[in-house]
Structure 1
Amino acid sequence: MFATPLGDDGAVLRPLEPWHAQEFLAHMDRGREFIGRFIALADAVVDEASSRAFLQSYADKAAADTARIYGIWTGGTLVGGVLFRTMDLRMGTAEAGCWLEPAGVGKGLVTRAARLIIDWAVEERGIHRVEWLAAAANEASIAVARRLGMSRDGVLRQSYLHRGERYDVEVWSVLAPEWRAATA
């Protein structure tokens, strides 16, 4: 099975697939309120059928080369993930994102995993611009964007309706030449 180490702490990154539906649901159940503070993923995966459907939608998008989803495991337990919510190879753009349950917080897992997938997108797939969108109140996600060397492009005011509240969304990005210069 494909698994990429995220360092010497035993954490690994590997594709999340429909057969992970039970494990993905258990992960969501452990972190539902924490994960759901800023993203709708926790509200979309509420039972095994919705878990399988969500992962199948990403399997279909991966087959169409328009998105990808990966899980982060520590000690054999799924604790979070990173994804390309969108990938447009013709335009050379992708939107990356992440989520973590509390057990994965504060270990640099998302930053390390996002570096791997962004490097793959830029170097293997020819992506020119990787975007990172985060609710302005989501300080942890914005900190990841900064650690990845992204630039803040701007704020989409009250553009995201989540659980009945409107959030400002910060748009961060890194361009392929900037990524290559930073990783050289």
Structure 2
Amino acid sequence: MFAIPLGDGAELRPLEPYQAEEFLAHMDRARGLVDEHIRLAQRVCDVDSARDLLTSFAEKQAADSGRIYGIWLDAALVGGVMFPKFDALHGTCEVGCWLEPAATGRGLVTRAARVLIDWAVDVRGIHRVEWLVSSANSPSVRVAQRLGMRRDGVLRESYPYRGVRQDIEVWSVLAPEWRGQEPEAAH
């Protein structure tokens, strides 16, 4: 297993099925914040569902169609980043994230997402990286902005969540744009 330092006592590591109990405990701490905008917390409600989700990402990784990583702060799992969709053949992927309340405001998601985008663009040859976010999720929109992404548009009322149709913003960065960023902005 590898760990990539993110600074300030944080590191990025793969999340694997054997970590289901730790993932569930983390999701229990994160549930209120995460559940506000995405279904991840609803999907992880016991050890079996946590293992199922992590197994589905292990299968995606084996098929080269997705991956999931945890963010650990001082040895505690506090959030993560993922490739919900990864299509090397067509050169596109989507990056997503979540975080528990105790870890917000530290730039952890931004730093972790940069690691994923660097790898996708520089190692895998991905041309377009997308970030899909509810318009109501201001913190996630700000991450897309800090990553130097551009807002491509809004899919109006495209995502039913908690009985309300959500507007989804599509943000993206293209490989030439990513490579052209100033070093402090891209790394």
The bucket for the TM-score relative to the shorter chain is over 0.9
Change (3 A) 1:183 1:62: farther
SS of equivalent to 1:46? coil
SS of equivalent to 1:6? strand
The answer to whether structure 1 residue 142 and structure 2 residue 141 are counterparts is yes
Letter in 2 for 1:3: A
Under a length normalisation based on structure 1, what TM-score does the superposition of the two structures give? 0.98
Equivalent residues in 2 for 1:98-113 (5 A)? 98-113=97-112
The count of corresponding residues between Structure 1 and Structure 2 is: 183
Match of 2:63 in 1: 64
How far apart in 1 are the matches of 2:39 and 2:152? Answer: 23
SS of equivalent to 1:182? coil
Moved more, 69-78 or 157-166: 157-166
Under a length normalisation based on structure 2, what TM-score does the superposition of the two structures give? 0.96
Match of 1:161 in 2: 160
How far apart in 2 are the matches of 1:40 and 1:94? Answer: 20
Match of 1:3 in 2: 3
How far apart in 2 are the matches of 1:74 and 1:133? Answer: 25
How far apart in 1 are the matches of 2:5 and 2:78? Answer: 15
1:178 deviates by 0.1
How far apart in 2 are the matches of 1:146 and 1:79? Answer: 22
Letter in 1 for 2:4: T
1:104 deviates by 1.0
Structure 2 spans left out of the alignment, 5+ residues: none
Match of 1:117 in 2: 116
Letter in 1 for 2:92: T
1:183 deviates by 4.5
Aligned sequence identity (%): 64
Deviations 1:62-103 (A, max 9, x none): 011000100000011100000011000111000001000001
Change (3 A) 1:16 1:183: farther
The answer to whether structure 1 residue 18 and structure 2 residue 17 are counterparts is yes
Letter in 2 for 1:142: V
Runs of 4+ in 1 over 2 A off after TM superposition: none
Letter in 1 for 2:179: R
Change (3 A) 1:91 1:44: same
Deviations 1:141-171 (A, max 9, x none): 0000000000000000011111221110000
Match of 1:76 in 2: 75
Deviations 1:45-67 (A, max 9, x none): 00000000000000000011000
Match of 2:38 in 1: 39
How far apart in 2 are the matches of 1:2 and 1:127? Answer: 22
Letter in 1 for 2:2: F
Deviations 1:101-154 (A, max 9, x none): 001100000000000000000000000000000000100000000000000000
Letter in 1 for 2:68: I
How far apart in 2 are the matches of 1:49 and 1:158? Answer: 32
Moved more, 161-170 or 85-94: 161-170
Structure 1 spans left out of the alignment, 5+ residues: none
Letter in 2 for 1:143: R
How far apart in 1 are the matches of 2:124 and 2:33? Answer: 33
